[in-house]
Amino acid sequence: MSSPAAERIASKNKGKESMPMAVEQAVVVPVQKRKRSVSRSPAPPSPHRRRLSPPRGPRYDLPPRGPRNDARHDRPAVPDVDLARARERERQLAEQMEKRAEEPEKKPFDAKAEFERLMETRAGGTYVPPARLRALQAQFTDKNTKEYQRMHWEALKKSINGLINKVNTSNIKMIIPELFGENLVRGRGLYARSIMKAQAASLPFTPILTALTAVVNTKLPQVGELLLTRLIVQFRKAFKRNDKSVCLSSTTFIAHLCNQAVAHEIVALQILSLLLERPTDDSVEVAVGFMREVGAYLAEVSPKANNGVFDRFRAILHEGQIDKRVQYMIEVLFQVRKDKYKDHPIIPEGLDLVEEEDQITHYISLDDELDVQEGLGVFKFDPEFEENEERYKEIKAEILGDSDEESGSDDEDESDEEEIEGAAVVDEAKRQEIQDQTNTNLVNLRRTIYLTIMSSVDYEECCHKLMRINIPEGQQIELANMIVECCSQERTYSRFYGLMGERFCKLNRMWTDTFQSAFQTYYETIHRYESNKLRNIAKFFGHLLSTEAIGWHVLSCIHLNEDETTSSSRIFIKILFQDLQESLGLNALKAVMADPMLEECFGGLFPRDDSRNTRFAINYFTSIGLGAVTEGLREWLKTNPTMRVPFGPALDLKVTPIPANAGHSPYYAALALSNFLTKSNRPRSTLLLTGAGVSVDSGIPDYRGPTGTYRVNKSYRPIFFSEFTEKHTSRQRYWSRSFLGYPPVQRARPNDIHKRVAGLWRHGHLSQVITQNVDGLHTAATPDVPTLELHGSLHRVLCLSCGGHIHRQEFQEELKMLNPEWAELLRMNETELQINPDGDVQLPKERKPDGDTQTEKSYEHFRYPACKKCDAAKTDADGAWVEGGGILKPSVIFFGEQVPESHKTAAEKAVEEADRIFVIGSSLATYSAFRLIRAAKEAGKSVAVMNWGGPIRGEGEILKEEEGDLRIPLKAGVVLAEVESMLMEKSWTEKVAEAAEAVAAKL
């Protein structure tokens, strides 16, 4: 009995006449189905059911047609459904086989070519998966191949970077042996670059990295020398391009290298001299940071130089030219010095790893010609690679010794101590607060602020969201900076940011101070921004100023002159003021600029210290269409004389006689002065301070008088100390001018003023004479009068290397011998040369070959001798200086040079011992003299000033009639003659009165 399934299959096969014979003869095996329920009968076969698809399997070539007698083919064969497709596949397969047979054989894998292809790119190589890299490296086993050495170089770079970035206080002793395990002789350039990048990225780690370098320097001094050289060169470049951040990082590193005795203290003093020579806000800020790190060391090894640095800081603070913020930093530095640098030790605890006898100090100067050896950071093929590696292994073995063997025995001996100290260390670690040295929290805060600003619809929503951010104390400035930075990133200025800043400033006074501080910071660093960002920043702060969200006093940080502005800062000021004009209107802006309450704040914008700066400011505002705001500056320029002061703030140009009748006649002035000199009964109680005006009648002009050099010669500029010491051409220019100018100074003789001063001394009124002049006429007139030449003497020449002195006349003869052409010029023009106060002259004119124009005589071939007492200089056959040390300088104080400490101490002592100060022929423009008068006034002493033809510095500050001070704007010679006669007469009458009193007492 057949099953229903078999019947269905059989019924289907009946209608298939085209079915092959093999299928018709197939035997169908009945399938055992799962038993169904008795109640359900099997379904009848349906003719509409889907036909079964042929079985799927691998496609084989069609078997030959016809009967098969092989027993393997007894099972039913399944034919291909589409014979045409099968034949097409066979044809395609045959074509592929033919193509493969025709293809040339592939070249074997060339590992060398593949490695060169990957490595010879601009970036130094592309990313290679580790497995593929290992396969490439496995191909190179010969150490004398370029490929092997390149792989070794990359591994050395990676290892040095990893060790430097991993070092800290706790593991530095473990890192040092690992670092010496790498070839630091080959990789010293990599070491220097890596450690400089690590230090610049994280300044708090500078002491640790310096300690690491100090240890390496004791064994491999060429590594420490290379690092110091690159740091000095980096500082010089950053200083020239006004990059404050790089200057800060470089000086911090150099300071700690000095502390570790890797660098000599002379480089620290040179850096401080350079930064403080012409102080600006940035240079003083860098110098303060540098002094904070190296001050304790300088106080220990060079106390005199340290005191001189702090005197310069004090002078800068008193001059008041720098920003209030920087002044506060100087005051904090003085407090740090007073606290003996308790928070800034020379070497922090745990980092004193080098014994004093092992220290190697490099004597590298800031002025040396340095080679940074850039090629040490680039891979180069070494034909003696294996020999050099063996040599370093010997060096490493000598450095590290048998540390591994010794460590085993040491571990056993110290194990007990470690167990005892372990518990204490754990407790201490628990008490220590974790500090984020990676700035992760700061980065997250900035990201949060940025995303909040970018996701806000309007400024009110943004301010509301930002106020809900938990900003740590002291990091409010980050919010202001992020707002300004986001504003700068826009294509054009968006008022959204200005409204946001305005809202914050009007919410709390703290935010006002924050944005005001941000204004000063961005103005100081505005040169780092491109034009579009600069424009947006200027418009942002213009909005805050026009809405009075921040105070107008923030403009005090702007000093509008040719020297203190850059192209970027001038564009910033232009856009800022044009935006203010659009917002406020020209009349309202003029009213703000003319506000007397803000006049001091706008002193930098509208300078009155120098007519050159004043004209620059007027021309600038006129060029940007705001000439109307300079009307007051134009009036001032018309009514005030020109006065040039190398150092110090603007002078008070009012000349008011004190008392009023002192300016009417020499008699009244002499009467007031004689009373001033005889105020007390104590003899020799008046200190005399003289200036260049005293020597005018001797044929030596002054600086700022009616016929002074600054007024007659508008282009005159005295030489600065740094110029003289740094440039050979500057010394040629000075000595050529001084060679022509010294004979008139040598021939000058004391005049009546010098003689009257000698008379005052003989009558017992003067205690001492302090003179700013360098002509030596006071000493020539009165050799017995105690005279302090504050600024030195032209009649002596000293060596900057050995400190030896020679007389100027001897030096003059040597100049004459070395320069016969100039000696003839001096003989021909001696009576026509115009001498300057410092003993040089304006070089005579000579006609050019074209016959039309005249120029200053060239000093290109002028020669000057070197010091004969020391061997520091290299000279030619005639003894003229060529290079090196042994530079001779006149024994005078140049502009920018510090007054010797002995002179300052003696002058201060003289002021302290005197009852009053008498000044003749000085405008007190130089700070070295002005500070003495200020000290006298602070001590409650009275001051008399007799200066003809111009104002004096700080007149309103130091001269007050109610305190007994005098101001006499008359020629000193005439007045002193009257004074001498009055004092002689007074002394005679006093003697008669004393005799009468003696007779009365006897009776």
Please choose, from the candidates 940, 970, 965, the residue with its C-alpha nearest in 3D space to the C-alpha of residue 954: 965
Q: What is the DSSP string of 221-263?
A: HHHHHHHHHHHHHHHHHHHHTT-HHHHHHHHHHHHHHHHTTSB
Instruction: Tell me how far apart the alpha carbons of residues 800 and 123 are, in angstroms, rounded to a whole number.
Output: 49
> What are the Cα distances from residue 409, in Å, to 178, 418, 497, 879?
20, 14, 68, 66
Instruction: Tell me how far apart the alpha carbons of residues 93 and 89 are, in angstroms, rounded to a whole number.
Output: 6
Instruction: Tell me how far apart the alpha carbons of residues 657 and 733 are, in angstroms, rounded to a whole number.
Output: 42
Please report which residue ranges of 401-475 form alpha helices under DSSP H: 403-431, 440-454, 459-467
Exposure b/e, 10-38, CB count within 10 A at least 16 = b: eeeeeeeeeeeeeeeeeeeeeeeeeeeee
DSSP class of residue 702 equals -
> What are the Cα distances from residue 574, in Å, to 544, 560, 917?
16, 11, 48
Contacts for 884-888: CB closer than 8 Å, 24+ residues apart: 885/800, 885/801, 886/799, 886/800, 886/801, 886/802, 887/725, 887/731, 887/799, 887/800, 887/801, 888/797, 888/798, 888/799, 888/800, 888/806, 888/811, 888/864
Angle 434-437-440 (CA atoms, 0-180°, nearest 5)? 95
Instruction: Tell me how far apart the alpha carbons of residues 605 and 559 are, in angstroms, rounded to a whole number.
Output: 6
Residue partners of 771: CB distance under 8 A and separation at least 6? 689, 690, 691, 694, 778, 787, 788, 789, 790
Q: Token pair of 278, please?
A: 């012409």
Instruction: Tell me how far apart the alpha carbons of residues 616 and 610 are, in angstroms, rounded to a whole number.
Output: 10
Please choose, from the candidates 845, 836, 803, 698, the residue with its C-alpha nearest in 3D space to the C-alpha of residue 757: 698
Q: Token pair of 86, please?
A: 């099968």
Instruction: Tell me how far apart the alpha carbons of residues 232 and 271 are, in angstroms, rounded to a whole number.
Output: 9
Q: Residue holding tokens 């074997």?
A: 108
**What is the β-pairing status of strands 916-920 and 686-690?**
parallel
Known active-site residue 791: yes
The torsion angle over the Cα atoms of residues 739, 745, 747 and 752, rounded to 10 degrees, is 170
Positive or negative, the CA dihedral 249, 255, 259, 264 is positive
Q: Residue holding tokens 């890299």?
A: 133
* HSE of 336, CA atoms in CB hemisphere, 13 A: 21
- Counting beta carbons within 10 angstroms of the beta carbon of residue 239, is it exposed (0 to 12), middle (13 to 18) or buried (19 or more)? buried
Peptide bond into 4 cis (omega under 30): no
**Three-state secondary structure along 423-441?**
HHHHHHHHHCCCCCCCCHH
List 754, 765, 778, 791, catalytic entry: 791
Give backbone dihedrals phi and psi of 343, rounded to 5 degrees, phi first.
Answer: -95, 0
Question: CA-based Rg of the chain, rounded to a whole angstrom?
Answer: 45
Strands (DSSP E) contained in 675-791 are 686-690, 766-771, 787-789
Report the SS3 class of residue 992. Answer: helix
Q: Token pair of 268, please?
A: 């620290």
Which residues have a catalytic role annotated? 791
